[in-house]
Chains A and B, each alone.
Chain A
Amino acid sequence: MGTTVMERPLARGTTKARRRRVVGLGTLVAVLVIAAAVSLAVGARALSPAEVWHGLFAAPDSDQRLTEIRLIVRTVRMPRTVLAIVAGIALGVGGALIQGYTRNPIADTGLLGVNSGASFTVVSVIAVFGFADPFQYVWFAFLGAAVAGVVVFGLASIGRGAGNPLTLALAGQGITVFLAAMTTAVALSDQASLNTLRFWNAGSVAGVGFDVIWPVALFIAIGLVLALTTLPALNLLNLGDDVARGLGVNIALSRTIGIAAITLLAGAATAACGPIAFLGLMVAHVARYLTGPDYRWLVPYAGLLGAVVLLLCDIVGRLVVRPGELDAGVVVALLGAPFFAALVWLGKFRSA
Chain B
Amino acid sequence: MSGTDVKPSVAPGVRLGQVSFVWRPWLVCVTLLLAAATFLVFCLSIGVGDFPIGLSRVIATILGGGERVDEFVIMDLRMPRALAGLIVGIALGVSGALTQSIARNPLASPDILGITGGAGAVSVFLVTVSGGTAAAVVSAVGLSTAALAGGLGTGLLVYFLAWRRGVDGFRLILIGISVSAMMEAITTWLLVTADIKDVARAQAWLVGSLDNRSWSEVRVALWCTLVLLAVVFCVAFQFKPMHLGDEVAAGLGVRYAMVRAVLLLCAVLLAAVGVSAAGPVPFVALVAPQVAMRLARCPTPPMVASGMVGALLLIGADLVARTALPITLPVGVVTAAIGGPFLVYLLVRANLR
Contact = CB atoms under 8 A, between A and B. Distances in A.
Interface of A: 105-106, 155-156, 158-162, 166-167, 170-171, 173-175, 177-178, 180-182, 184-185, 187-189, 191, 194-195, 198-199, 201-203, 277-278, 281, 326-327, 329-330, 332-334, 336-338, 340-341, 344-345, 347, 349, 351
A341 B189 contact: no
A338 B282 CA distance: 27
Nearest to A173: B109
A187 B184 CA distance: 18
A188 B334 CA distance: 14
B324 interface: no
A327 B192 contact: yes
A296 B174 CA distance: 25
Given A181-B337, A184-B207, A341-B179, 13 more contacts: A105-B170, A159-B353, A160-B351, A162-B351, A174-B339, A184-B333, A191-B196, A198-B191, A201-B191, A334-B185, A336-B181, A341-B178, A344-B162
Nearest to A339: B178
A338 B199 contact: no
Nearest to A187: B203
Contact of A344 (B178, B181, B332): B178
Given A171-B347, A174-B343, A351-B170, A337 B179 contact: yes
A349 B347 contact: no
Interface of B: 105, 107, 109, 161-162, 164, 170-171, 173-175, 177-179, 181-182, 184-186, 188-189, 191-192, 196, 199-200, 203-204, 206-208, 282-283, 327, 329-330, 332-333, 335-337, 339-340, 343-344, 347-348, 350-353
Contacts of A160: 350-353
Contacts of B192: 198-199, 201-202, 327, 330
A167 B351 contact: yes
A326 B188 CA distance: 11
B180 to A, nearest CB: 9
Contacts of B171: 344-345, 347
B101 to A, nearest CB: 17
Contact of A330 (B188, B336, B337, B343): B188
Contact of A184 (B330, B340, B348): B330
A195 B191 CA distance: 10
B196 to A, nearest CB: 6
A178 B164 contact: no
B83 to A, nearest CB: 24
4 tightest Cβ-Cβ pairs between the two chains A and B: A178-B340, A181-B336, A333-B185, A161-B351
B204 A106 contact: no
Given A170-B347, A171-B347, A351-B170, A106 B336 contact: no
A218 to B, nearest CB: 29
Contacts of B173: 106
B169 to A, nearest CB: 9
Contact of B332 (A175, A181, A326): A181
Contact of B185 (A182, A185, A189, A329): A329
B336 A178 contact: yes
Contact of B182 (A156, A170, A327, A337): A337
A203 B174 CA distance: 22
A150 to B, nearest CB: 14
B199 to A, nearest CB: 6
Point out which of B173, B283, B340 has the most chain A C-beta atoms below 10 A from its C-beta: B340
Nearest to B193: A324
A341 B161 contact: yes
B204 A188 contact: yes
Contact of B178 (A105, A185, A340): A340
Given A155-B347, A199-B192, A177 B330 contact: no
Contact of A175 (B179, B184, B340): B340
A59 to B, nearest CB: 39
A185 B320 CA distance: 14
Contacts of B204: 184, 188
6 contacts: A158-B352, A160-B351, A167-B347, A182-B333, A194-B203, A333-B182
B184 A277 contact: yes
Contacts of B203: 184, 187-188, 194, 198
A177 B348 contact: no
Nearest to B170: A351
A194 B161 contact: no
B164 A189 contact: no
Contact of B347 (A161, A184, A337): A161
B172 to A, nearest CB: 9
Contacts of B329: 185, 188-189
A161 B350 contact: yes
Contacts of A337: 178-179, 181-182, 185
Contacts of B335: 181
A158 B179 contact: no
B302 to A, nearest CB: 22
A304 B188 CA distance: 27
A281 B188 CA distance: 19
B348 to A, nearest CB: 6
Contacts of A181: 207-208, 282, 332-333, 335-337, 340
B84 to A, nearest CB: 19
A194 B177 contact: no
B348 A155 contact: yes
Contacts of B350: 160-161
Contacts of B170: 105, 351
A194 B283 contact: no
A237 B336 CA distance: 35
Nearest to B191: A198
Contacts of A170: 107, 343, 347
Nearest to A170: B107
Nearest to B343: A174
Contacts of A344: 162, 171, 174-175, 178
A195 B182 contact: no
Nearest to B341: A178
A345 B162 contact: yes
B108 to A, nearest CB: 9
A341 B344 contact: no
A195 to B, nearest CB: 6
